[in-house]
Structure 1
Amino acid sequence: MRSGWAWCVVLALACISGIAHADEPDRRIALTIDDLPWQRLGERTEPELAAQHARLLAALKQANVPVVGFVNEAKLEVGGQVQPTRVQMLRDWRDAGFELGNHTFGHVDLHAMPLDAYEQDILRGEATLRPLLAETGQVPRWFRHPYLHAGQSPQVRAELGAFLKQHGYEIAPVTIDNSEWIWAFAYDHVRDTETDPARRDALMEQLRRGYVPYMLNKLDYYEQRSQELLGRLPAQVWLMHANALNADCVGELVAATRRRGYRFISLEAALQDPAYQHADGYNGGSGMSWIQRWAMAEKVPKSFYAGEPMMPGWVMKLAGRDGE
Structure 2
Amino acid sequence: MRSALRRLLLPLLILLLLPVPAAAQKMIALSFDDAPRRAGAFFTPDERTQRIIAELKEAKAPQAVFFVNPTAIGHGDGVGGAERIAAYVAAGHVIANHSNSHPRLSTTDTTAYLADIDAAEAWLNGRPGYRPWFRFPFLDEGGKDKAKRDALRQGLAARGLRNGYVTAESSDWHLENLTRDAVQAGKTVDRKALGALYVTWHVEAADFADAMMKQVTGRQPVQVLLLHETDLAALYIGDLVRALRKAGWTVVTADQAYADPIGKEMPDTPSANGTLTEALAWAAGAPAPRWYRYNQTDLATAMFRTKVLGEGEAE
Q: What TM-score do the two structures reach when normalised by structure 2?
A: 0.80
User: Which residue number corresponds to residue 191 of structure 2?
Assistant: 204
More deviation, 255-264/56-65: 56-65
User: Which residue number corresponds to residue 81 of structure 2?
Assistant: 86
Q: Distance in 2 between matches of 1:238 and 1:43?
A: 21
User: Which residue number corresponds to residue 206 of structure 2?
Assistant: 219
Tell me the secondary structure at the aligned position of residue 150 of structure 1.
strand
Tell me the secondary structure at the aligned position of residue 101 of structure 2.
coil
Q: 1:290 aligns with which of 276, 279, 282?
A: 276
User: Which residue number corresponds to residue 143 of structure 1?
Assistant: 134
Paired letter, 1:158: D
Q: Distance in 2 between matches of 1:72 and 1:122?
A: 10
Which aligned pairs between 1:269-284 and structure 2 lie closer than 5 A? 269-284=256-271
User: Which residue number corresponds to residue 293 of structure 2?
Assistant: 308
Q: Tell me: CA distance 1:185–1:83, structure 2 relative to 1, closer, same or farther (3 Å).
A: closer
Which aligned pairs between 1:223-242 and structure 2 lie closer than 5 A? 223-242=210-229
Q: 1:127 aligns with which of 117, 122, 131?
A: 122
Q: Distance in 1 between matches of 2:79 and 2:236?
A: 28
| Pair 1:71-2:68 in alignment | yes
Q: What TM-score do the two structures reach when normalised by structure 1?
A: 0.78
Q: Distance in 1 between matches of 2:236 and 2:120?
A: 29
Q: Distance in 2 between matches of 1:254 and 1:307?
A: 19
More deviation, 213-222/122-131: 122-131
* Equivalent pair of 1:174/1:290 in contact (CA under 8 Å): yes
* Equivalent pair of 2:40/2:231 in contact (CA under 8 Å): no
Query: Following TM superposition, by how much is the alpha carbon of 1:279 offset from its aligned partner in structure 2, in angstroms?
Result: 3.3
Q: Tell me: CA distance 1:232–1:56, structure 2 relative to 1, closer, same or farther (3 Å).
A: same
Q: Distance in 1 between matches of 2:115 and 2:305?
A: 35
Aligned residues: 283
Query: Following TM superposition, by how much is the alpha carbon of 1:122 offset from its aligned partner in structure 2, in angstroms?
Result: 0.8
Deviations 1:60-104 (A, max 9, x none): 22233211100111211339xx98711111111111111111111
Give the superposed CA RMSD: 2.8
Query: Following TM superposition, by how much is the alpha carbon of 1:42 offset from its aligned partner in structure 2, in angstroms?
Result: 5.4
Q: Distance in 2 between matches of 1:95 and 1:206?
A: 33
Paired letter, 1:188: R
Tell me the secondary structure at the aligned position of residue 225 of structure 2.
strand
Q: Distance in 2 between matches of 1:155 and 1:42?
A: 37
| Pair 1:171-2:157 in alignment | no
User: Which residue number corresponds to residue 34 of structure 1?
Assistant: 33
Tell me the secondary structure at the aligned position of residue 152 of structure 2.
helix
Query: Following TM superposition, by how much is the alpha carbon of 1:114 offset from its aligned partner in structure 2, in angstroms?
Result: 0.9
* Equivalent pair of 2:66/2:96 in contact (CA under 8 Å): yes
Tell me the secondary structure at the aligned position of residue 65 of structure 2.
strand
Q: Distance in 2 between matches of 1:159 and 1:171?
A: 13
Q: Which runs of 5+ in 1 are unaligned?
A: 1-20, 320-324
Tell me the secondary structure at the aligned position of residue 29 of structure 1.
strand
Tell me the secondary structure at the aligned position of residue 142 of structure 1.
strand
Paired letter, 1:218: A
| Pair 1:246-2:233 in alignment | yes
* Equivalent pair of 2:166/2:224 in contact (CA under 8 Å): yes
* Equivalent pair of 1:187/1:204 in contact (CA under 8 Å): no
* Equivalent pair of 1:221/1:308 in contact (CA under 8 Å): no
* Equivalent pair of 1:65/1:264 in contact (CA under 8 Å): yes
| Pair 1:49-2:45 in alignment | yes
| Pair 1:261-2:242 in alignment | no
More deviation, 302-311/224-233: 302-311
Tell me the secondary structure at the aligned position of residue 99 of structure 2.
coil
| Pair 1:100-2:87 in alignment | no
Paired letter, 2:274: M
Paired letter, 2:51: R
- Percent identical among aligned pairs is 24
Deviations 1:151-200 (A, max 9, x none): 234443332223223323211111102211111122223333326xxx34
